[in-house]
């Protein structure tokens, strides 16, 4: 697979993109981007499957490095202090062995000269996979399942990262939880988005 085969969104170059629109009116976000377009049975689904279920964490590293350089150029003046991944429940992380978003988040942090921390936001409840749930059902499943381990997020600009955005319910729940701790600024970056 070559880089030029990937369906890039270029959302980081426009403020009024699908990722931002998905979250609009639900939670205040400074900047929002998704790197790739996701289609069922497409190249991005295969790529994310390799990352998530086959242990190919180098996929996350490659995408994080690539997007990180793009964001550094496009988001000038939006200095990111902290990169936080959407957490897995410890039971699911133990089973998988890693959080599929970690390598992506670490590489973004490195590219953006930001701190990476996966211990600030925790998933305190185990819930079933959300892939086949509708938006309202996803929101019900995510209500009050995240917690923050610090109260000192005031004046921080957080980049919240995830693998794929479908309805935005997970990102919304994480962002709302983070905003309770000193009202930080939050931006969002996902590897892919469903159209």
SS3 label, residue 158: strand
Could you report the per-residue pLDDT of 154-183, keeping only the tens digit for each?
899 999 999 999 999 999 999 999 999 888
Could you report the per-residue pLDDT of 31-65, keeping only the tens digit for each?
999 999 999 999 999 999 999 999 999 999 999 99
0.85 surpassed by pTM: yes
Q: How far apart are the C-alpha atoms of 28 and 187, rounded to whole Å?
A: 9
Q: Domain spanning 8-194: which CATH class is it, in words?
A: alpha beta
What pLDDT is attached to residue 91? 87
Spatial neighbors of 171 by CB under 8 A, at least 6 apart, are 23, 27, 86, 160, 162, 165, 188, 190
Q: Residue 49 to residues 33, 184, 189: CA-CA distances in angstroms?
A: 21, 32, 19
DSSP assignment letter at 187? E
Q: Where exactly are the structural domains of the chain?
A: 8-194
Whether the Cβ atoms of residue 58 and residue 103 lie closer than 8 Å to each other: yes
- Residue 73 CA from chain centroid, whole number: 19
What pLDDT is attached to residue 125? 81
DSSP assignment letter at 155? T
Give the chain's mean pLDDT.
Answer: 90
Count CB neighbours of 79 within 10 A. 10
Q: How many CA atoms lie within 13 A of 191 on its CB side?
A: 31
The confidence band for 139, taking pLDDT boundaries of 50, 70 and 90, is: low
Q: How far apart are the C-alpha atoms of 17 and 71, rounded to whole Å?
A: 15
């Amino acid at each position: 697979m070559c880089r030029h085969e990937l369906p890039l969104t270029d959302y980081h170059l426009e403020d009024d993109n699908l990722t931002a629109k998905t979250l609009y009116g639900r939670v205040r976000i400074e900047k929002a981007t998704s790197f790739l377009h996701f289609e069922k049975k497409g190249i991005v689904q295969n790529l994310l499957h390799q990352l998530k279920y086959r242990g190919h964490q180098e996929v996350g590293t490659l995408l994080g490095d690539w997007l990180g350089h793009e964001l550094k150029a496009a988001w000038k003046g939006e200095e990111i202090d902290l990169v936080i991944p959407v957490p897995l429940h410890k039971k699911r992380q133990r089973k998988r062995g890693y959080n599929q978003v970690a390598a992506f988040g670490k590489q973004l942090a490195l590219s953006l000269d930001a701190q990476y921390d996966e211990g600030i936001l925790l998933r305190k409840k185990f819930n079933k996979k959300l892939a086949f749930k509708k938006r309202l059902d996803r929101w019900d499943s995510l209500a009050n399942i995240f917690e923050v381990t610090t109260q000192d997020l005031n004046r921080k600009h957080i980049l919240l990262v995830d693998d794929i955005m479908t309805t935005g319910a997970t990102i919304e729940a994480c962002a709302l939880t983070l905003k309770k701790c000193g009202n930080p600024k939050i931006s969002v970056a996902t590897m892919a988005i469903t159209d």
